[in-house]
């Protein structure tokens, strides 16, 4: 038999304290929907803990009574079975049922008709995030959802391959992304911050590497960001960057990725027009640094086996110039 080290049980990730303050925790709500869900969680926690404690107390009391020969028939008593076995659990579970149905209804109701809308498409294994103005795409990014603080945002969710599920625990409940259908949910971040979310529906081997971040910022910063996203990519200024751009558009990169303002119009992978402005690559798998990006380009199958990005064989100088180009795509 293997013993679990007590230290493992105290791992910070597992403690309630970290769940209460975490940036991927339903117990640290920063939006109205998440608040309802966490209230429900605490209600269930309190009621079920109380039920558990009361049951144990009665069990030990009954056992003592029986052992002392005072009430040998106690456990068999009809009233005890009816009241403690059926009536009380019945009331407790019914209250939990009604409460959770009520919370569920709050989530599906859309209180904001003309709210800012963001279109999110689930893909194996990343999130395409688009901001539209009418039918024009004004921002096309990946795995990063910028929202203004305090403003309700409607999310239109769909998928192009399998069923995924959008879950940013600090802000909202889960909502499925289903091929051929558009589901809606809404979020409102009540505080500035970066809230991590994940795919909550098993969608293939790299399901666990399908994360995203909701970046809630003050209104002016948000509109600054959005305005910048409309711009096409920055033009290279050095020879090395120009060589990198050539590698990008003439090599395999441009077949799958788009960089607006160049001849690369691929649509299989994320739009890279403003890649350098993102915090992570590969859907939250790696930080967006030159080293990780280089490693990802030549061996994307290493950190995330099974994804659609092929291994690319490149000469070191070629990779170096490609990275110098990608780094300017702020």
Q: What are phi and psi of 178, to 5 degrees?
A: -120, 130
Residues 243 and 318: their CA atoms lie apart, in Å, by: 8
Question: Is 203 one of the binding residues for ligand CUA (CB under 6 A)?
Answer: yes
Question: Is 329 one of the binding residues for ligand CUA (CB under 6 A)?
Answer: no
Question: Is 119 one of the binding residues for ligand CUA (CB under 6 A)?
Answer: no
Closest contact distance (angstroms) between CB of 198 and ligand CUA is 8
Closest contact distance (angstroms) between CB of 85 and ligand CUA is 40
Nearer to ligand CUA, 199 or 272 (CB): 199
Contact present, 320 and 249 (Cβ < 8 Å) = no
Closest contact distance (angstroms) between CB of 164 and ligand CUA is 3
Question: Is 164 one of the binding residues for ligand CUA (CB under 6 A)?
Answer: yes
Nearest-10 crossing angle of helices 88-108, 32-67: 170
Write the DSSP assignment of 263-329 as a string of letters: S-B--SS---TTGGG-SEETTTTEE--HHHHHHHHH-TTTTSTT-SPPP----HHHHHHHHHHHTT-
Write the DSSP assignment of 199-250 as a string of letters: E-S--STTGGG-EEEEEEE-HHHHHHHHHHHHSPPPPP-SHHHHHHHHHHHH
Using the contact rule CB under 6 A, the part of the chain among 11-19, 104-112, 180-188, 200-208 near ligand CUA is 200-208
User: Which residues in 254-283 contact ligand CUA (CB under 6 A)?
Assistant: none
* Location of structure tokens 């009241």: 83
Using the contact rule CB under 6 A, the part of the chain among 86-94, 144-152, 196-204, 218-226 near ligand CUA is 196-204
Helix (H, G, I), strand (E, B) or coil at 136: strand
Residues 94 and 312: their CA atoms lie apart, in Å, by: 58
Using the contact rule CB under 6 A, the part of the chain among 59-67, 135-143, 194-202, 292-300 near ligand CUA is 194-202
Using the contact rule CB under 6 A, the part of the chain among 12-20, 195-203, 214-222, 311-319 near ligand CUA is 195-203
Instruction: Count residues binding ligand CUA (CB under 6 A).
Output: 9
Contact present, 289 and 296 (Cβ < 8 Å) = no
Closest contact distance (angstroms) between CB of 144 and ligand CUA is 16
- In 3D space, the residue among 237, 232, 216, 299 whose CA is nearest the CA of residue 272 turns out to be 232
Q: Are strands 144-148 and 211-217 parallel, antiparallel or unpaired?
A: parallel
Question: Is 156 one of the binding residues for ligand CUA (CB under 6 A)?
Answer: no
Question: Is 122 one of the binding residues for ligand CUA (CB under 6 A)?
Answer: yes
Select from 37, 120, 210, 282 the one that contacts ligand CUA (CB under 6 A).
210
Nearer to ligand CUA, 108 or 160 (CB): 160
Nearer to ligand CUA, 196 or 207 (CB): 207
Site residues (CB under 6 A) for ligand CUA?
122, 125, 164, 199, 201-203, 207, 210
């Amino acid at each position: 038999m293997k013993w679990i080290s007590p230290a493992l049980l105290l791992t910070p990730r597992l403690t309630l304290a970290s769940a209460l303050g975490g940036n991927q925790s339903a117990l640290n709500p920063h939006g109205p929907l998440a608040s309802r869900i966490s209230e429900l969680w605490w209600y269930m926690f309190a009621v079920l803990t109380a039920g558990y404690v009361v049951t144990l107390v009665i069990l030990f009391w009954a056992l003592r009574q029986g052992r002392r020969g005072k009430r040998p028939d106690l456990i068999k008593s009809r009233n005890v079975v009816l009241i403690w076995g059926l009536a009380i659990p019945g009331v407790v579970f019914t209250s939990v049922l009604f409460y959770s149905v009520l919370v569920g209804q709050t989530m599906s109701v859309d209180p904001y008709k003309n709210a800012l809308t963001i279109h999110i498409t689930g893909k194996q294994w990343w999130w395409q995030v688009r901001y539209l103005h009418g039918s024009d795409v004004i921002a096309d990014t990946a795995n990063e959802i910028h929202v203004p603080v305090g403003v309700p945002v409607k999310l239109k969710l769909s998928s192009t391959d399998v069923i995924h599920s959008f879950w940013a625990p600090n802000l909202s409940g889960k909502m499925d992304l289903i091929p051929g259908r558009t589901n809606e949910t809404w979020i409102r971040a009540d505080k500035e911050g970066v809230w991590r979310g994940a795919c909550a529906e098993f969608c293939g081997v790299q399901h666990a590497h399908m994360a995203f971040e909701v970046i809630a910022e003050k209104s002016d910063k948000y509109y600054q960001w959005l305005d910048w996203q409309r711009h096409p990519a920055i033009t290279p200024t050095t020879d090395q960057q120009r060589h990198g751009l050539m590698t990008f558009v003439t090599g395999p990169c441009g077949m799958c990725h788009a960089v607006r303002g160049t001849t690369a119009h691929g649509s299989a992978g994320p739009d890279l027009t403003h890649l350098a402005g993102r915090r992570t690559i590969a859907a939250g798998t790696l930080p967006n640094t030159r080293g990780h990006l280089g490693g990802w380009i030549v061996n994307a199958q290493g950190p995330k086996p099974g994804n659609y990005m092929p291994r690319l064989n490149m000469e070191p100088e070629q990779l170096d110039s490609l990275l110098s180009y990608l780094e300017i795509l702020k």
